[in-house]
Amino acid sequence: MSMDVPPRMGRIRSALTAFAFAASALALVMTYVLCALVLSAYPQGLADAVGVHVPAFSVSAYQVALNSAWCAFGTLAATVALAFLAWRQVIEVEQRRFWLVLLAVFNYHVALVVAGTVVLGIFVLPKLANMA
């Protein structure tokens, strides 16, 4: 099912695929950096820093921040291994690009979930709980 595309367009698609995967890997690394900065801002723990009321989700978010290296680099290692496997096993070039972009989307989703959990759980929810 390959469509006839000019060779120049194929190189552009390959470059965009590589860029998407590299940018998703960078997003995972930046998620870890964000969590490390949050942990350096609250070195003693979350309960001392946020106030009287600490939501349960905030405690879970702090644990996610503590384990963000495993989440980010574990996901990155798994997707790089799967990308290498897809690059070696899939014969058709369009299918290779599809699998690499799919892995990049997975990386973006993991980075978004981890960063969103940390930001909401550590910054937003404790402020809402201690407003009164």
Q: What is the pLDDT of residues 76-110, one digit of tens each?
A: 999 999 999 988 998 898 899 999 999 999 999 99
Averaged pLDDT score across all residues of the chain: 88
- Comparing 53 with 113, the larger pLDDT belongs to 113
**124 within a domain of the structure (yes/no):** yes
What's the predicted TM-score (pTM) here?
0.85
**1 within a domain of the structure (yes/no):** no
Domain count along the chain: 1
Per-residue pLDDT at 49: 65
- Its domain, for residue 119, covers 7-129
Q: Find the length of the chain.
A: 132
pLDDT tens-digit map of 16-51: 999 999 999 999 999 999 999 988 887 776 666 667
Q: Is residue 126 within 8 Å of residue 55, measured between CB atoms?
A: yes
**2 within a domain of the structure (yes/no):** no
**16 within a domain of the structure (yes/no):** yes
**14 within a domain of the structure (yes/no):** yes
**94 within a domain of the structure (yes/no):** yes
DSSP assignment letter at 2: -
Q: Is residue 76 within 8 Å of residue 107, measured between CB atoms?
A: yes
pLDDT for 69 beyond 90: yes
